Amino acid sequence: MVPGRHLLRGVRMSGESFRVDLRGIVDILSHHLYSSPRVYLRELIQNARDAVVARSESDPSAPREIAIEIEDGGAVLVRDSGIGLTEEEMRSVLATIGASSKRSDFTRVRRQYLGQFGIGLLSCFLIADRIEVRSRSARSADAPTLSWVGNSDGTFTITSAQTPLPDAGTEVRVQARADDREWVEPVRVQLLAERFASLLELPITLRTGAHAQSEIVSTRTPPWRGSGLEATAWCHRELGFAPLAVLPIDVPTAGVVGVAFISDSPGRVGNRHGDTVYSHGMFVADDNVQLAPNWAYFVRLAVEGGDLALTASRESLQDSPAIGDVKAQIGTQLRQGIEHFALSDPVGFDRFMDVHAKGILAMAAGDDDMLDLVIGHVPWETSEGTMTLAQILRLSDDVRYTTSMTDFTAFAPLLRAKRSLLVNGSYVYGSEILRKVRERRGHTARVRAFDPHAFLDSLPEPREGGAEARGFEVHARAVLERLGVDLDLRAFAPASTPSLFVAAGDDHLSQLADDGAEADPWAGLLSEPEASPARPRLVMNVTSDAVRSLVHVRDERVRAEAISGLYVIGLLRAGQTLDERHGELLSSTLHTLITAAGGGE
């Protein structure tokens, strides 16, 4: 008695096999494995290709041919010059679900095969109730031609073929059901054959009717093997756009090779279109999202999957540690490719930035890899002109940024005159990016949020003047009071800026929050926060000729109108939108000044 095995005394036990409901299996394939009945043609081409490769291993001089024909009456024939099948192999491969001749006979070249699951032929039952196979084995010169006929009810027969094949190989005939004839229509078969087999290196011919000429649907040049123009043409034909750039992809450790196309349209940030993946030249999918990093939303890959294993449906790649390694290497190569693109084609790279800058900023707000790209290549408006953050950090040890377009417009000339650098961070995601740059080691002391009120308070006040100056100040305050604006007299460069409007509010406080991160953590509890100005203010530059001239104007009406004009100029320089009231002020000012200049009343 075998230890651990318990038998019931007097009970007779029999060994039995599971029963398989083939129709149920086909239903499972249809609803849970394959995405569409169209895969039947891919499986037939794949099996034919594997058979040809297998024969070439034992006989390199053997013909390497696959032919597809469409018969009248709704049947498709796929004929190959491959290894063929013996009677025993027909039983073990064609009639055993889950079997595959690639598992044993051809293990040493297994990676050259596309199919490894032995269920491919069953996909034909998605459109047919009957599959006919004629095959002649290449293992012996006198091998007979055998006929295998399988039915969707799970039965099959093996007999000697009435019409022998002239040489080794296999012919599969699939007769579509009446309600599935659409899958064997000539136009559809041609589209599917070109889709699945266009990059296979074997010559595959297609004849769409008894009187039609055969045409080759394979042996096309993959985009990663052709010239740049050929890759661009492939992208336009297959993906529907003209790429801004074509970047090479090569991960030799996994046999992965391909190209990355940079899209010519912005797309949706964080929502990558799928990539096109092939396996040994056979089309796998055009919606794959396993190989490119999420930040590369503007990239579409076309790659040969090499040694990466396929799922049972062969419509995607198996998730594995190898996938993660390949994805990381592709991400590195994309960044390097973009760097090279920037250096080798500045004009093209400018187009790339015009299209994708906003999206790149959005991704960089949460991705450090993209942040490096932003620092090195995204242009920013500054008080010293347009430059990248890398250039900014090389140029200045004291970088200030503002997230207010109004503040940038108003203060950029002043900081330029003081030889300080102000960065316009008012763009979408600008503040997040600049804060992340500031948080990087070594940049905390160099990158600061700009505080307009503190900057104005640091400007020198004018020296105490005579009675005329004091009289002008009193008059100016009265005029601005009627406009709801405070007066602030300062002396600053450039003198060409006579006035500066500063809006009320605490907008600057949010961008200063990070600056306070390194301060005493108890300061906020132990001291009163400094109150921001309750009202907007007009800063008049006493070094400006226009302001200095007003001190000596004796006509109070003219002087009042001129002060109102300086207020409107301040609004314009700050980028404020003028309303109807401001338009009336400006019109009144011009009328008064023109009349005074002409000597009129």
Residue 568 belongs to some domain of the structure: yes
Q: What is the pTM of this model?
A: 0.73
8 Å CB contact between 156 and 149: yes
Binning pLDDT at 50, 70 and 90, where does residue 275 land?
very high
**Boundary (domain end) residue, out of 348, 371, 391:** 348
What contacts 24+ positions apart, CB below 8 Å, involve 413-418?
413/383, 413/494, 413/496, 413/497, 414/455, 414/492, 414/493, 414/494, 414/497, 414/500, 415/383, 415/455, 416/383, 416/384, 417/492, 417/493, 417/494, 418/493
Task: Give the model's pLDDT for residue 524.
Answer: 46
**Three-state secondary-structure class, residue 385:** strand
Q: How much is the mean pLDDT over the chain?
A: 84
Cβ partners under 8 Å of residue 313, min gap 6 = 33, 34, 35, 39
Same domain, 391 and 512: no
Q: What is the CATH number of the domain that holds 115?
A: 3.30.565.10
Least reliable range by pLDDT among 217-226, 312-321, 493-502, 590-599: 590-599
Residue 450 belongs to some domain of the structure: no
Same domain, 169 and 274: no
Residue 243 belongs to some domain of the structure: yes
Residue 492 belongs to some domain of the structure: yes
Same domain, 430 and 469: no
Residue 1 belongs to some domain of the structure: no
Same domain, 538 and 460: yes
Question: What are the tens digits of pLDDT across the range 28-86?
Answer: 555 556 778 899 999 999 999 999 999 999 999 999 999 999 998 899 999 999 999 99
Question: What are the tens digits of pLDDT across the range 474-510?
Answer: 889 999 999 999 999 999 999 999 998 888 764 444 4
Same domain, 99 and 179: yes
Cα–Cα distance measured from residue 368 to residue 534, given in angstroms and rounded to the nearest whole number: 39
Task: Give the model's pLDDT for residue 259.
Answer: 98
Same domain, 282 and 332: yes
Cα–Cα distance measured from residue 315 to residue 188, given in angstroms and rounded to the nearest whole number: 19
Same domain, 334 and 393: no
Question: What are the tens digits of pLDDT across the range 525-577?
Answer: 444 555 554 689 899 999 999 888 888 888 888 989 999 999 998 888 888 88
Q: Is 429 left (phi over 0), alpha (psi -120 to 50) or beta?
A: left
Task: Give the model's pLDDT for residue 465.
Answer: 64
Task: Supply the angle between the helices 321-344 and 368-377 in degrees, to the nearest 10.
Answer: 10
Same domain, 369 and 332: no
Task: Give the model's pLDDT for residue 512.
Answer: 46
Which residue, among 48, 136, 156, has the nearest Cα to 87 in the 3D structure? 136
What tokens appear for 186 in the block? Answer: 């000539």
Question: What are the tens digits of pLDDT across the range 289-323?
Answer: 999 988 888 999 999 999 999 987 788 899 999 99
Residue 340 belongs to some domain of the structure: yes
Cα–Cα distance measured from residue 353 to residue 335, given in angstroms and rounded to the nearest whole number: 14
Cα–Cα distance measured from residue 119 to residue 243, given in angstroms and rounded to the nearest whole number: 39
Cα–Cα distance measured from residue 584 to residue 573, given in angstroms and rounded to the nearest whole number: 18
Q: Which domain holds residue 122?
A: 22-216
Length of the chain as a residue count: 601
**Boundary (domain end) residue, out of 166, 196, 216:** 216
More confident residue, 22 or 554: 554
Binning pLDDT at 50, 70 and 90, where does residue 123 land?
confident
Residue 173 belongs to some domain of the structure: yes
What contacts 24+ positions apart, CB below 8 Å, involve 345-354?
345/245, 348/244, 348/245, 349/245, 349/377, 351/244, 352/244, 352/245, 352/262, 353/377, 353/378, 353/379
Task: Give the model's pLDDT for residue 25.
Answer: 58
Beta bridge partner(s), residue 303: 258, 277
Least reliable range by pLDDT among 118-132, 319-333, 374-388, 432-446: 432-446
Same domain, 323 and 404: no
Same domain, 48 and 184: yes
Cα–Cα distance measured from residue 224 to residue 303, given in angstroms and rounded to the nearest whole number: 8
Q: What is the total count of domains within the chain?
A: 4
8 Å CB contact between 308 and 111: no
Q: What is the CATH number of the domain that holds 575?
A: 1.20.120.790
Same domain, 237 and 336: yes
pLDDT reading at 111 higher than 50: no
Least reliable range by pLDDT among 85-89, 179-183, 446-450: 446-450
Same domain, 423 and 335: no
Ramachandran angles phi, psi of 152, nearest 5°: -70, -10
pLDDT reading at 10 higher than 90: no
Q: What is the CATH number of the domain that holds 260?
A: 3.30.230.80
Task: Give the model's pLDDT for residue 117.
Answer: 37
**Boundary (domain end) residue, out of 216, 236, 251:** 216
Residue 318 belongs to some domain of the structure: yes
- Whether cis (ω within 30° of 0) applies to the bond prior to 494 is yes
